[in-house]
Amino acid sequence: MRKSVFLAGLMITLLAVAPAFAQPVVIKFSHVVAVDTPKGQAAEYFKKLVEERSKGDIKVEVYPNSSLYGDREELEALSMNSIQMAAPSFSKFTSFTPQLELFDLPFLFNDVDHLHKVLNGEVGQKLLTMVGKKGMVGLAYWDNGFKQMSANKPLIKPEDAAGLKFRIMSSKVLESQFKAINANPQVLPFSEVYSALQQKVVDACENPLSNFFTQKFYEVQSDLTMSNHGYLGYMVVSNKLFWNKLNDGQRQLISQAMKDATEYANKLALEMDERYMKDIKASGKTTVHTLTPEQRKLWKAKLMPIYPQFEEKIGKDLIDGALAAGK
Ligand code: LMR
């Protein structure tokens, strides 16, 4: 009798302390860019917040620089729950949610305020819901910045790009964009761009300044045109099964940390755009060209006519909604 009372007591004690030995929840967060970019830094900040606030009950392992998965595998890995978070650029969602190619449309946004109106408004919400139907959970939008074109010659008029092989992300909008100026678009994963430029497999590319600098593209591109012709940003996504297994408290904690990391990412995106402009100029290797308003008009006139081709795929309502937010 006394022995069974002792055993029952022992069981109760063990059950009480069991949570202390529970394995932490692990979030593998994979991305393809350098740590010193808006996405790289925001992922590190998110990790710090989650681990501090959960007192170690939730761990975030960040894998930058395509060190775990590259562009082609990242979303596959997420859908198989091999990773639990990623923040691919919109163009990488093509085979899951092609409507996200909306953001690739050239000259869609007047400025960052216009972009944020779209992301935080009805269009942004609709796109998060669409991603949610594909076994993912859209958690946030993170900024990088406007894309600039680079090559080994100045690209001042659209005709200057004719015949050049441009590396693009896997988006049909980007393909049409470069075809519209008689260039030759080539899809390549981000991790292969530097060597493709170096070995002249491609001649040119388009990037926000943080990627251009941290990938050292200035070493292999003599000219950079501040064209601001398109936008590159991210949707942070999680796996739905993983997300649904978390308890309410964990979901709340992660959502709040994501909100804070988003603010951090977006502030950093603006700061880094300025900082890396200085660094690119200081490298002395790339000449920076700024388009005059008249020159920019020429690019717009060539590139914006591709919109109607995508009304069906993206949705005219989304395109019109995004344009209307800028008026
Ligand atoms: C690219 O492939 O150029 C970008 O999507 C990389 C990134 O994630 O910023």
Spatial CA neighbour of 51 closest among 62, 41, 40, 35: 62
* End-to-end C-alpha distance for the chain, whole angstroms: 82
Q: Is 89 in the pocket of ligand 1 (CB under 6 A)?
A: yes
Question: How many CB atoms sit inside 10 A of residue 46's CB?
Answer: 28
Ligand 1 center to 207 CA (angstroms): 8
- The single-letter code of the amino acid at 282 is A
- Residues pairing with 190 in the sheet: none
State whether the beta carbon of 37 lies less than 6 angstroms from ligand 1. Answer: no
Q: What is the pLDDT of residue 22?
A: 74
Cβ(211) – ligand 1 distance below 6 Å: yes
Find the 52 Cα to ligand 1 centroid distance in Å: 29
Nearest CA to ligand 1 atom 1: 190
Q: How confident is the model over 73-110, as pLDDT tens digits? A: 999 999 999 999 999 999 999 999 999 999 999 999 99
Nearest-5° angle of CA 200, CA 64, CA 105? 60
Return the number of other C-beta atoms located less than 10 Å from residue 147's C-beta: 22
Rg (CA), the chain: 23
Atom number in ligand 1 closest to CA 189: 2
Using CA positions, which residue lies closest to atom 3 of ligand 1? Answer: 190
CA 120, 66, 188, 169: dihedral to nearest 10 degrees?
A: 0
> What's the half-sphere exposure (Cβ side, CA atoms, 13 Å) at 301?
9
Of 191, 236, 256, nearest in space to 86 by CA: 236
Give me the pLDDT at residue 162, please: 98
What are the tens digits of pLDDT across the range 202-232? 999 999 999 999 999 999 999 999 999 999 9
Question: How many Å apart are CA 146 and CA 228, to the nearest integer?
Answer: 5
